[in-house]
Chain A
Amino acid sequence: MMFDANTGGGSNDVQWCFSQVKGAIDDDVAEADIISTVEFNHSGELLATGDKGGRVVIFQQEIENKSQPQCRSEYNVYSTFQSHEPEFDYLKSLEIEEKINKIRWLPQKNAAQFLLSTNDKTIKLWKISERDKRPEGYNLKEEDGRYIDPNTVTALRVPVFRPMDLMVEASPRRVFANAHTYHINSISINSDHETYLSADDLRINLWHQEITDRSFNIVDIKPANMEELTEVITAAEFHPHQCNTFVYSSSKGTIRLCDMRASALCDTHSKLFEEPEDPSNRSFFSEIISSISDVKFSHNGRYMMTRDYLSVKIWDLNMESRPVETYQVHEYLRNKLCSLYENDCIFDKFECCWNGNDSVVMTGSYNNFFRMFDRGQRRDVTLEASREGSKPQQVLKPRKVCADGKRKKDEISVDSLDFNKKILHTAWHPQDNVIAVATTNNLYIFQDKVN
């Protein structure tokens, strides 16, 4: 991958500017509009979001405007479609939510784009294709579709394709259903470009992209006696290069790396990544805050990152005993865990992401704050996604939370934080310093200042 000099810079090199915000302005948030997943495609040209209403909105980056080089191209709506609908499982008397849990783009093979989207139970493969030509000049049909009386036809002509306004169509090509008893939390596409995995609370299944009526179970942690259940699977991902390797994280704070060559059922891990708990930090909520909410491989495949409630950890795949780096996201919340338990915030599942060259990692927090950690420079920054800072090209001011009582100017005290404004989903462009940050129902796009 080629990176230009501006990309991958540390947080002190990069000044982040507001670029765009998508979504409703009013404070009254409709539940269906809550963004539940954000994902760039492999080139970064397309940005997909899923919401609680089961819709997928895809934005496309326009070709750079050469006359305005200081303004990087914008993302505009490319396609919108209803991916999943609410369903009812009559056998269990359960409603199945239409909320999109994850979207993953397939590598592009032809002119069309493909993505996988999933709700709690069903995964769908969508084809997004463009139509910018249409056939004209039929012999038996008028342009408006009316049929011509054959008796009036005196000459024949061959229909030709003529340009038309661009139309983007999304059509479901495959539906992968009825393979998960529990709620699906992850999907991950294999580097072999043929298979993908889907993970629920207790099982991981391997699918072929073309075959919908069959999947292979590769991990099953359901105990024989459900009363002995002690942990669930929280996230899973294939290695970016090794098609036989995948990892899954658990609610106990462990990560297991599995090799599919070892056996058909990968219940036995090849590696177990676990950091011993610090006994001085023991509390009622130790189990909750150690539960891993997201796991992501680095682009180079040497590291993986995990997110638990208070921290981000970077693991070297060759060292299982402890992470190589740990970053505290919002340590000031450690004393507030009881309140966060009461209002359910402690169960929020934050995601994390790498930048293009794995030098910086990013994750969300509360009060619409998000954090970036520069691994090389050992610096971190807290930024805010808000309408106040949303003038075009306005540089984002670093924010600071004051944990003790001595609040300095421009700092925010812990008690003033708005826990209803949370950033759970963030995404980083695969090559450039462009980030997509989802607040509750708005999508913010920031980019680095181009000089």
Chain B
Amino acid sequence: MINTTECAVDAQSLISISLRKIHNSRTQRGGIKLHKNLLVSYVLRNARQVYMNEKYAEIYRMQQYEEVMTVCNEIQELNPLDLAEDCEEQRGDCCGNGGVSEPASLCCALLPVSQLVAVQSAHMQPPSACSAPLSLQSDEVCKETEPSFYQSCCAEAYPVSNCEFSPVNNLHCNKTTVLDLDTHVVTTVENGYLHQDCCASLQQCCQGAQYSGKKRKVDFEYYISDIEEVPDFTPCKRAKFEDCSYANSEHLDTSNISNLISIFGSGFSGLVSRQADIEQALALNGQFCSKQALSSLGAMTRAIVAF
């Protein structure tokens, strides 16, 4: 069993080391070594799994803490009338059609306080009604917000630091950027909330996560220098998400690594088990609606955590 408590930091460094190896292999004499890069991709997968497990575990711990705090606060200073009105207003915006039949109070009771806060912060941003956090409580709510969620986010610019507006800034504000290489949608996990920050293609985003088979096939075939399939590469799209995704990258060469990830991420998809991710996330967080979160990212998501 990989010792996860010590390994979250190691996982990060392993990911960057692995990406560097893959990048360097492109310029090695004799061409890309398929065997070595396959093994490196396994390390990358393992490190990513550990890292994401750690993140989910952290989010779950935070949620639990906040729920406990909510109960305490409610006991102490609850004014049911005011709170219900706020909730209803926000819930209506958040849920789009308002087709949810649950009463406001129930809705508020369901939403932990951290979510209310995040909903508030979301409203500070233009113009999205539904930039609400993805980690919604009930399945019904999740389903209904899904389509509009995608649409609204396209208008947002990256990087908007929600942390600045959010009162949860008092808590440890962690941001992790996830790049979906199929839809080129960049999502930020922030204190457990997934925001879609930008997307390379507006259309792709609005249509939901559409699997672009051609683009995926492209890079891996190019990567292995197999002339049997001709690469169908579009540099302009790559440049777009390069800008928005990697503004925060610290020590890695942004353009090289984004190129690298776009190449790598579309390959070795057999190694990446989305099902495994979901199961792991569910195992860790019974209530956490990660299943919905992950499924909303598309049918064939191959996300890689970037730094």
From A22-30, A88-96, A169-177, the one touching the partner chain is: A88-96
Which residues of B from 102 to 145 have beta carbons under 8 Å from A? none
Q: A120-B30, A183-B33 are in contact. Are A347 and B39 (CB under 8 A)?
A: yes
> Which residues on the B side are within 8 Å of A286 (C-beta)?
46
Segment at the interface with A among B200-208, B214-222, B245-253, B277-285: B214-222
A347 — which chain B residues lie within 8 A by C-beta? 36, 39
- Are B34 and A279 neighbours in the complex by a CB distance under 8 Å? no
Looking at B69-77, B171-179, B263-271, B287-295, the stretch in contact with chain A turns out to be B263-271
- On chain A, the residues within 8 Å of B14 by CB distance are 284, 338, 341
Question: Does A182 lie within 8 Å of B42, measured CB to CB?
Answer: no
Most buried by A among B31, B46, B50, B228: B31
Interchain CB contact under 8 A, B2 and A280: no
Contact B38 A229 (CB under 8 A): yes
Q: Interface residues of A: mostly helix, strand, loop or mixed?
A: loop
**Contact, CB under 8 Å: B268 / A95:** no
User: B220 to A288, Cβ gap below 8 A?
Assistant: no
Chain A, residues 335-350, CB within 8 Å of chain B (1/0): the string is 0001001101001000
Dominant secondary structure of chain B at its interface with chain A: helix
- B225-A230 in contact (CB<8A): no
Nearest-CB residue, chain B, relative to A281 = B1
- Cα separation A342 to B7 with both chains bound (whole Å): 16
A-B contacts, CB under 8 A, total? 97
Shortest A252–chain B CB gap in Å is 10
Once the chains bind, are A201 and B31 in contact (CB under 8 Å)? no
Q: Once the chains bind, are A251 and B29 in contact (CB under 8 Å)?
A: no
Chain B contacts for A95, CB-based, 8 A: 29-31
Query: Which residue of B is nearest A232, CB measured?
Result: B35
Are A227's CB and B43's CB within 8 A? Answer: no
Name A91's contact: one of B1, B39, B227, B268 (CB within 8 Å).
B227
A232 touches B30 (CB 8 A): no
Decide if A284 touches B31 in the complex (CB within 8 Å): no
A98-113 CB mask vs B (1 if < 8 Å, else 0) is 0100000000000000
Is A251 in contact with B216, judged by CB distance below 8 angstroms? no
Does the CB pair A201–B43 fall under 8 Å?
no
- Tell me if A92 and B29 are in contact (CB < 8 A): no
Chain B, Cβ-Cβ closest to A289: B39
Residue B164 at the chain A interface, CB threshold 8 Å: no
Q: Interface code A273-288, partner B: CB below 8 Å = 1, 0 otherwise?
A: 0000001101111111
Task: Find A227's partner among B17, B39, B269 (CB 8 Å cutoff).
Answer: B269
Within 8 A of B (CB), among A331-376: 338, 341-342, 344, 347
Q: What is the interface residue range for chain A against chain B?
A: 35 or more
Q: Are B266 and A227 in contact, with the CB atoms below 8 A?
A: yes
What is the total number of residues of chain B having a CB less than 8 Å from a CB of chain A? Answer: 37
Chain B residues, CB < 8 A from A298: none
Cβ–Cβ contact B270 & A230, under 8 A: yes
Give min CB distance, A308 to chain B, whole Å.
12
Closest A residue to B39 by beta carbon equals A288
The answer to whether residues A96 and B30 also contact, given A227-B266, A285-B43 and a CB cut-off of 8 A, is yes
Instruction: Determine if B2 and A227 form an interchain contact, defined as CB atoms under 8 angstroms apart.
Output: no
Task: List residues of chain A with CB within 8 A of the CB of B30.
Answer: 94-97, 99, 120, 183
Residues of B within 8 A of A96 (CB): 30-31
Judged by a CB distance under 8 angstroms, whether A186 is at the interface is: no
Instruction: List A279-311 residues whose CB lies under 8 Å from chain B.
Output: 279-280, 282-288, 291
Minimum CB–CB distance for A294 against chain B, Å: 13
**A95-B29, A288-B42 given; A229·B268 CB < 8 A:** yes
Interface contact B46-A284, CB-CB below 8 Å: yes
Q: What is the CB-to-nearest-CB distance from A225 to chain B, in angstroms, rounded to a whole number?
A: 8
Contact B268 A287 (CB under 8 A): no
| Contact yes or no, B38 A226, CB < 8 A | no
The verdict on A181 contacting chain B, using a C-beta distance below 8 Å, is yes
Assess whether B34 is in contact with A287, with CB atoms less than 8 Å apart.
no
The closest CB in chain A to the CB of B224 belongs to A226
Tell me the residues in window 66-106 of chain A with beta carbons closer than 8 Å to chain B beta carbons. 91-92, 94-97, 99
Which residue numbers of A lie inside 8 Å of B, CB to CB? 91-92, 94-97, 99, 120, 181-183, 201-202, 223, 225-232, 234, 251, 279-280, 282-288, 291, 338, 341-342, 344, 347
Known: A230-B268, A234-B35, A251-B35. 8 other contacts (CB 8 A): A94-B30, A181-B228, A183-B30, A201-B35, A202-B34, A226-B220, A341-B43, A347-B39
